[in-house]
């Protein structure tokens, strides 16, 4: 063990001889590794963590083609990281010359394989502070093996009874994207499903092995053929990091097939003891029966999130085959770039999609569709459970139009309006106001997007319109399903007690402003004495205000405010002049 002084930046070197016989582009056979160490403390008082990169020692490429080699690199401090060619023989030894076009971030080498043999590649990976000053650097050196193209089985002596071999290297097609940042707790086990594929149909080529470079203690299962696809193979990696393994680790997988072909390396970053964002079961809106034109979908997370940095991350809407799950069909996918991200909620839009009547669907979420703004951007795990978020399209019915009469009278008690709901959800609230009385025949079927009753005799709601009578003569078609965007409509002047918890953290309601504009105040209080607030585990309420149009548009958010003295420690108040329309809180 070497003890290092604090407050310095210095370089360690290790050099020797010799490389194997390389192509003429290398200058000499000597090799050298330099690492730059920085023992200055960061602004947060911690020491800097150098970037990490994991590569197979040999990358196999075919001659006569231009290849792009992805070099994984990550920094657990979240610093800017770049790669570059070694400057000279003093820094990286005799293979310092550039071997192709190098992109610094993401680190990608474009290489033209013109000759069979071995090529030495010497790179330097560096991290920088916010002022672009160098913090530290690490060396990365590996070999490129250029091989001849394979012989076509159709032109060889292979029996014609065998399917042809596949001349395309195997590929990774798993649940996590390349360079994904995956959070794992120490002393907890993480299982990574690795899925690879032979990219040819009806072929004799098989997956021979999945090569791994992994942290200490990681184990891997046997490789099995997927029962749904003969070209797909699955392996599981399992790891339980120790408490002293805090930090960031990389695991890399490379598929190899029975033809001796090696696919591209795919790496993931494992961040120990940083909790990943998790989707809250039961927070999905909507579930159950939905309208055929339902186009707004949302789900909550247990921590604050940001939009993912990776591209091509999707929410996938899949129609369930009632007879064979192998025939489930992806109908539409929504890119995370087109979703709306709130602090702890993601909303997806499927505008223009008409769901097939009476069909069952489920929604899967790609790994990394939610990220936290820490370290390498720890990502949410993939959701591939076909029973996690499900819905079925509506069965419609026609009801007789209601007669709407406006008059000035007491509104009465709300508890008498929604008798089938509990008094806790809708306690009594009596007030004088101009009201709209909606009279509906008791034999009609009420659309439960307003109330979950089989029949209602009278509904009264607050309004300020002048006295008038409107008698529609047309019929109204409605769906026998809740309106998920507005699970409940509340009146002005109402006070209700709501209990939320970690499993069901939200209470959602809507209201209507039927004047050209109106001053509206909504308040939420945590009903806990100040002395007991911390020990009670009560949360600070947060309110979001949306206007309901073609899409939900956020107008305001508030989680601060003064509450009732000596009773409530925390409150949230929204007070705005709102235009005519529908609103959601």
d(CA 65, CA 110): 11
3-state helix, strand, coil split of the chain in percent (to 5) is 5, 45, 55
Neighbouring CB atoms inside 10 A of 470's CB total 10
Number of domains in the chain: 4
Q: What is the mean pLDDT of residues 327-332?
A: 93
Q: Provide, rounded to the nearest whole percent, the portion of the chain with pLDDT above 90.
A: 43
Under the banding of pLDDT at 50, 70 and 90, the label for residue 322 is confident
Average pLDDT, the chain: 78
* pLDDT at residue 160 greater than cutoff 60: no
Q: Which of 298, 290, 288 is nearest to 354 (CA)?
A: 290
**Per-residue DSSP letters for 535-569?**
HHTPPPP-EEEEEESSSEEEEEEE-----STTT-S
Neighbouring CB atoms inside 10 A of 203's CB total 21
Residue 283 placed within a domain = no
Q: What is the mean pLDDT of residues 265-271?
A: 93
Residues 128, 70, single domain; the answer is yes
Q: What is the pLDDT of residue 326?
A: 81
Q: What is the mean pLDDT of residues 19-43?
A: 84
Under the banding of pLDDT at 50, 70 and 90, the label for residue 76 is confident
Residues 109, 244, single domain; the answer is no
Under the banding of pLDDT at 50, 70 and 90, the label for residue 528 is low
List, in sequence order, every beta strand (DSSP E) within 390-542.
Answer: 390-393, 396-399, 403-410, 432-439, 458-462, 469-470, 476-479, 510-525
Q: What is the pLDDT of residue 453?
A: 27
Under the banding of pLDDT at 50, 70 and 90, the label for residue 544 is confident
* pLDDT at residue 114 greater than cutoff 90: yes
Residues 181, 141, single domain; the answer is no
Residues 196, 183, single domain; the answer is yes
Q: What is the pLDDT of residue 487?
A: 78
Residues 495, 551, single domain; the answer is yes
Residues 232, 329, single domain; the answer is no
Residue 375 placed within a domain = no
**Per-residue DSSP letters for 108-123?**
EEEEEE-SSEEEEEEE
Residues 34, 166, single domain; the answer is no
Q: What is the pLDDT of residue 125?
A: 96
Q: What is the mean pLDDT of residues 554-564?
A: 64
Residues 330, 186, single domain; the answer is no
Q: What is the mean pLDDT of residues 206-226?
A: 93
Q: What is the pLDDT of residue 152?
A: 53
Q: What is the pLDDT of residue 393?
A: 92
* pLDDT at residue 564 greater than cutoff 60: no
Residues 539, 405, single domain; the answer is yes
Residues 210, 294, single domain; the answer is no
Residue 277 placed within a domain = no
Of 88-102, 181-195, 394-408, 524-538, which gets the smallest average pLDDT? 394-408
Residue 28 placed within a domain = yes
Q: What is the pLDDT of residue 14?
A: 93
Indicate the residue among 118, 147, 176 that finishes a domain.
Answer: 147
* pLDDT at residue 474 greater than cutoff 70: no
Under the banding of pLDDT at 50, 70 and 90, the label for residue 518 is confident
- Say if CB 84 and CB 108 are below 8 A apart: no
Residue 212 placed within a domain = yes
Residue 498 placed within a domain = yes
* pLDDT at residue 197 greater than cutoff 90: yes
The residue among 63 and 441 whose pLDDT is bigger is 63
Under the banding of pLDDT at 50, 70 and 90, the label for residue 483 is low
CATH number for the domain spanning 261: value is: 2.60.40.10
d(CA 140, CA 507): 52
d(CA 370, CA 351): 22
Q: What is the mean pLDDT of residues 528-539?
A: 63
The residue among 256 and 28 whose pLDDT is bigger is 256
Residues 54, 181, single domain; the answer is no
* pLDDT at residue 475 greater than cutoff 70: no
Q: What is the pLDDT of residue 476?
A: 29
Residues 430, 569, single domain; the answer is yes
CATH number for the domain spanning 337: value is: 2.60.40
Q: What is the pLDDT of residue 198?
A: 94
- Say if CB 489 and CB 510 are below 8 A apart: yes
Segments forming the whole domain that contains residue 184: 162-272
Residue 51 placed within a domain = yes
- Say if CB 48 and CB 149 are below 8 A apart: no
Q: What is the mean pLDDT of residues 163-177?
A: 90
* pLDDT at residue 336 greater than cutoff 70: yes
Cis amide linkage into residue 18, ω under 30° from 0 = yes
- Say if CB 358 and CB 393 are below 8 A apart: yes
């Amino acid at each position: 063990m070497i003890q290092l002084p604090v407050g310095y930046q210095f370089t360690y070197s290790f050099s020797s001889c010799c490389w194997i016989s390389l192509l003429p582009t290398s200058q000499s056979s000597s090799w050298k590794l330099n690492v730059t160490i920085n023992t200055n403390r960061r602004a947060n008082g911690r020491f800097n963590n150098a970037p990490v990169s994991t590569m197979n020692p040999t990358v196999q490429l075919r001659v006569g083609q231009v290849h792009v080699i992805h070099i994984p690199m990550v920094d657990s401090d979240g610093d800017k990281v770049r790669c570059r060619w070694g400057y000279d023989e003093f820094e990286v030894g005799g293979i310092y010359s550039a071997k192709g076009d190098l992109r610094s971030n993401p680190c990608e080498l474009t290489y033209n394989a013109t000759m069979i043999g071995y090529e030495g590649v010497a790179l330097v990976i560096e991290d920088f502070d916010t002022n672009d000053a160098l913090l530290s650097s690490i060396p990365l050196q590996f070999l490129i093996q250029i091989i001849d193209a394979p012989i076509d089985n159709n032109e060889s002596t292979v029996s014609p009874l065998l399917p042809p071999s596949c001349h395309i290297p195997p590929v990774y097609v798993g649940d996590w994207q390349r360079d994904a940042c995956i959070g794992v707790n120490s002393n907890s086990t993480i299982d990574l499903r690795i899925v690879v594929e032979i990219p040819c149909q009806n072929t004799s080529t098989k997956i021979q092995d999945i090569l791994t470079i992994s942290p200490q203690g990681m184990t891997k299962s046997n490789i099995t053929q997927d029962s749904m696809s003969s070209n797909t193979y699955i392996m599981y990696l399992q790891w339980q990091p120790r408490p002293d393994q805090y930090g960031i680790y990389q695991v890399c997988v490379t598929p190899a097939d029975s033809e001796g072909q090696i696919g591209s390396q795919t790496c993931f970053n494992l961040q120990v003891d940083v909790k990943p964002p998790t989707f809250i079961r039961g927070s999905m809106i909507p579930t159950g029966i939905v309208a055929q034109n339902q186009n707004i979908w949302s789900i909550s997370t247990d921590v604050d999130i940001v939009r993912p940095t990776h591209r091509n991350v999707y929410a996938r809407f899949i129609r369930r085959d009632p007879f064979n799950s192998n025939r489930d069909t992806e109908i539409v996918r929504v890119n995370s770039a087109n979703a709306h991200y709130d602090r702890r909620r993601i909303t997806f839009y499927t505008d223009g999609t008409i769901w097939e009547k009476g069909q069952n669907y489920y929604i899967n979420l790609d790994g990394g569709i939610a990220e936290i703004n820490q370290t390498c951007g720890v990502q949410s795990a993939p959701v591939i459970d076909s029973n996690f978020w499900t819905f079925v399209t509506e069965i419609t019915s026609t009801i007789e139009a209601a007669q709407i009469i406006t008059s000035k009278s007491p509104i009465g008690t709300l508890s008498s309006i929604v008798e089938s709901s509990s008094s806790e959800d809708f306690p009594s609230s009596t007030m004088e106001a101009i009201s709209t009385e909606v009279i509906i025949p008791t034999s009609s079927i009420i659309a439960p997007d307003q109330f979950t009753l089989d029949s209602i005799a009278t509904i009264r709601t607050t309004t300020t319109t002048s006295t008038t009578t409107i008698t529609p003569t047309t019929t109204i078609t409605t769906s026998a399903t809740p309106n998920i965007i507005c699970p409940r409509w509340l009146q002005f002047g109402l006070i209700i007690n709501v209990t939320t918890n970690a499993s069901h953290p939200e209470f959602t309601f809507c209201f209507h402003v039927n004047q050209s504009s109106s001053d509206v105040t909504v308040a939420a209080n945590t009903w806990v004495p100040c002395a007991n607030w911390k020990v009670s585990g009560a949360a600070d309420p947060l309110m979001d205000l949306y206007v309901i149009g073609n899409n939900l548009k956020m107008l305001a958010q508030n989680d601060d405010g003064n509450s009732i003295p000596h009773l409530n420690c925390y409150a949230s108040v929204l007070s705005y002049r709102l235009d005519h329309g529908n609103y959601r809180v």
